[in-house]
């Protein structure tokens, strides 16, 4: 019997498990702990989908590290820069990312910590914000820079098909006691291009959740991508943009490595 089958109402997706609440998660954990060694399929034999497949919304935070704001020459003093990503942009670990070269030759990487909301959050304080977190994941917030700087909003430049790889897994919040103490690196074709930690966020995960929740209810399953540290391809000399064949790996301590290969859009 699978762990999910132990539920009185089985959950087919992570979103359903999040919505089912803490008791459902506890039942899955208990059932998984009771499975014999070697039960199930090894991860290496599986194809990964997006770690978060049906979120109510994907919210992205821009300019949440001083170094990244500086390298893009953008102001981050007014408060969290918030925008949404379209669901068609979600893809998983190991998936190919199609590059729309007819529209952009300035496609950039951004390694980010992803936060998944576990219970409704409205008007929460920073002190209570983390109690509303279900778990954490890795996000590569891929961006068409020429479109980003040509338009007054940032949703379209980051929402091409496959531009938001998420994964490889979601780690539950109890396994990440401090989301501000995680090493984050990004490698492009074996070259280390981002090397930082989440301690350098301008606004912490708790502060972001609190701030966003003052204006809107954060629903269970909401994915928040919390911003990228410095080292974007646009800032390098010469610039390092993604091209067909580029392989990008974003690694966050305690969660894992998210790897994707870029291909020409067909």
pLDDT, greater one: 11 or 194: 194
Residues near 158 by beta carbon (within 8 Å), at least 6 away in sequence: 60, 83, 85, 89, 141, 142, 143, 144, 148, 164
Q: What tens digit of pLDDT does each residue of 211-232 get?
A: 999 999 999 999 999 999 999 9
| Predicted local distance difference test score (pLDDT) of residue 1 | 41
Residues near 123 by beta carbon (within 8 Å), at least 6 away in sequence: 213, 214
Asked which of 2-11, 54-63, 166-175, 198-207 is least confident by mean pLDDT, the reply is: 2-11
Q: Locate 56 and state its tokens.
A: 């109510």
| Predicted local distance difference test score (pLDDT) of residue 68 | 52
Question: How many C-beta neighbours within 10 Å does residue 229 have?
Answer: 25
pLDDT for 100 beyond 70: yes
Q: What tens digit of pLDDT does each residue of 107-147 get?
A: 999 999 999 999 999 999 999 999 999 999 999 999 999 99
Average pLDDT, the chain: 92
Confidence category of residue 3, pLDDT binned at 50, 70, 90: low
Is the pTM of the predicted complex or chain greater than 0.85? yes
Q: What tens digit of pLDDT does each residue of 16-40 get?
A: 999 999 999 999 899 888 888 877 7
Domain positions in the chain are 1-40, 48-264
pLDDT, greater one: 95 or 65: 95
pLDDT for 188 beyond 90: yes
| Predicted local distance difference test score (pLDDT) of residue 242 | 98
Q: What tens digit of pLDDT does each residue of 40-79 get?
A: 777 778 899 999 999 999 999 998 997 755 666 556 566 6
% of the chain at pLDDT higher than 90? 80
- CA–CA dist 233, 109 (Å, integer): 7
- CATH architecture of structural domain 48-264: Alpha-Beta Complex (3.90)
Given a contact cutoff of 8 angstroms between Cβ atoms, the answer to whether 245 and 99 are in contact is: no
Q: Locate 120 and state its tokens.
A: 């409704």
């Amino acid at each position: 019997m699978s762990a999910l089958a132990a539920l009185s109402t089985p959950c087919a997706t992570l979103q359903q498990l999040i919505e089912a609440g803490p008791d459902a998660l506890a039942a899955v954990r208990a059932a998984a702990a009771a499975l014999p060694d070697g039960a199930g399929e090894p991860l290496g034999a599986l194809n990964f989908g997006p770690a978060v497949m049906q979120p109510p919304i994907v919210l992205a935070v821009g300019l949440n590290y001083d170094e990244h704001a500086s390298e893009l020459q953008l102001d981050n003093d007014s408060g969290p820069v918030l925008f949404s990503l379209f669901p068609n942009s979600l893809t998983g670990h190991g998936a190919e990312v199609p590059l729309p070269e007819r529209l952009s030759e300035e496609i950039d990487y951004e390694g980010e910590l992803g936060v998944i909301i576990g219970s409704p959050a409205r008007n929460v304080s920073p002190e209570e914000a983390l109690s509303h977190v279900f778990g954490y994941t890795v996000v590569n917030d891929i961006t068409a820079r020429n479109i980003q700087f040509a338009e007054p909003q940032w949703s379209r430049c980051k929402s091409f098909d496959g531009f938001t790889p998420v994964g490889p897994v979601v780690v539950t919040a109890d396994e990440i006691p401090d989301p501000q103490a995680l090493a984050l690196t990004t490698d492009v074709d074996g070259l280390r291009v981002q090397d930082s930690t989440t301690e350098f966020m301008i606004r912490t995960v708790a502060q972001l959740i609190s701030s966003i929740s003052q204006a809107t209810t954060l629903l269970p399953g909401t994915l928040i991508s919390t911003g990228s540290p410095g080292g974007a391809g646009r800032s390098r000399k010469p610039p390092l943009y993604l091209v067909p064949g580029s392989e990008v790996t974003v690694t966050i301590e305690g969660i894992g490595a998210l790897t994707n290969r870029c291909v020409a859009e067909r």
